[in-house]
Amino acid sequence: MESALERIDFDAVKQRFDAYWRREVPGRPLIGITCPRDDAKPTDYPVPDTVEARWTDVGYQCDRARHQIENTAYFGEALPVFMPDIGPDSFSAFLGGELVFLDDQTSWVRPFVDDLGGYVPAFDPGGKWWRRICDLLDAVCEIAKGNFLVGIPDLHGGGDALAAVRHPDKLALDLYDEPAEVKRLMPALTRIYREVFEEYHRRASRVQDGSTTWIHVYSRGSFTALQNDFSGLISPAMFAEFFLPEVEDLAGWLDNSLYHLDGPTALGNLPWLLDVKELDGIQWVPGAGAKPMSEWTDVCAQVLEAGKCLHISCGAHEVECILSVLPHEGLFIRTHCSTEAEARRLLRSVEGRFARPPRP
């Protein structure tokens, strides 16, 4: 396949992300713009009949990866990335849960822990779902080498893993009924998270330097998205008491980290996160049905003014408005255009309006 990494001048993009992690502005603000290629072709590969096969069939996922990368145009700091994925509950599946696939967008693990006090999380490297994701990862790595980047698969550790194996309602009650047990389990889950991440990283590193994930940001070292969707259901005080230690631990352990802050109900946790020295930054996602990103610049400014990196996605029409009100140090905006011409125009406009000479 044609190398998308050569199309984007990957060495230059790497340097711009180096500047991002240093909270510097490399000439102009960082922006990643994707759009369909002008010569995009329709899908031409067979689609498996069953939902589970569409998630896990190695050949199909490789076809998807090739097609997606070959038919997307990348501008600015947009990265050609494909991330093998069997759903947000994959980590819980590695702990012994059975993954169920509802449709092409939704998979989940049936809760299987009835007795929290007796639960000892264990990662089985011989388990079915772990072998499946490793097969996918290896196969995608094979075709990715020199052509595109492989994303570290989506990892929902600690809080989300407990919520999946218990059920969110039960975990919410556990925080009152069995707080000591939750605190006992969290470090054990963090240890497994590290083990899983290390193996993902080791496999991806066979074909690429550095790392990226479903958040398309590049790091020359170890990087992934830290996340805890369950935290949107609980008070900031409970988040700090039960789940912040894991964020601190993993942020200190990874070379680079962004915390995925999902939706207005999680905003109360932001001050705690901004106080985590080791955490590089925040990815802010207002969530479905929320007002557009250009109306959240107060939240964005709070992150940037705290000296953290920020990653946001917005509509192409919002980019310049957002850039005109936010500091550019540590800011990375991703957007999507309908055509290559539109994407080029937007990039030229950003370069023209917001470029600054680099610091000596």
Partner 1 sequence: MADLAATAEALIRGDRDTVVNLVKQALDEGVDAEKILDEGLVAGMDVVGQKFKNNEFYVPEVLIAARAMNASMELLEPALAKSGVKPAGVVVLGTVKGDLHDIGKNLVGMMLKGGGFRVVDAGIDVPPERFVQLAQDNGAQLIGLSALLTTTMTQMPNVVEAVKEAGLDVKVMIGGAPITQEYADEIGADGYAPDAASAVEMARGLIG
By CB under 8 A, name the binding residues for partner 1. 102-103, 105-106, 108, 168-169, 172-173, 175-176, 233-235, 238, 263, 268, 287-289
Closer residue to partner 1 (CB): 53 or 267: 267
In whole angstroms, the minimum distance from the beta carbon of 92 to partner 1 comes to 14
Closer residue to partner 1 (CB): 238 or 343: 238
CA dihedral over 192, 195, 196, 201, signed as positive or negative: positive
Closer residue to partner 1 (CB): 287 or 358: 287
3-state secondary structure of 223: strand
In whole angstroms, the minimum distance from the beta carbon of 268 to partner 1 comes to 7
In whole angstroms, the minimum distance from the beta carbon of 85 to partner 1 comes to 16
Closer residue to partner 1 (CB): 105 or 352: 105
* Dist CA 31 CA 301 (whole Å): 17
* Dist CA 213 CA 3 (whole Å): 19
In whole angstroms, the minimum distance from the beta carbon of 284 to partner 1 comes to 16
In whole angstroms, the minimum distance from the beta carbon of 171 to partner 1 comes to 9
* Structure token digits, residue 297: 């610049």
Contact status, residue 58 vs residue 71, Cβ threshold 8 Å:
no
Closer residue to partner 1 (CB): 229 or 248: 229
In whole angstroms, the minimum distance from the beta carbon of 187 to partner 1 comes to 21
Give phi and psi for 150, each to the nearest 5: -100, 125
Closer residue to partner 1 (CB): 110 or 191: 110
Contact status, residue 138 vs residue 202, Cβ threshold 8 Å:
no
In whole angstroms, the minimum distance from the beta carbon of 230 to partner 1 comes to 9
* Structure token digits, residue 330: 């540590």
Query: Please, what's the largest Cα pairwise distance for the chain?
Result: 61
Radius of gyration of the chain (CA): 20
Closer residue to partner 1 (CB): 231 or 257: 231
* Structure token digits, residue 73: 């145009």
* Dist CA 151 CA 140 (whole Å): 10
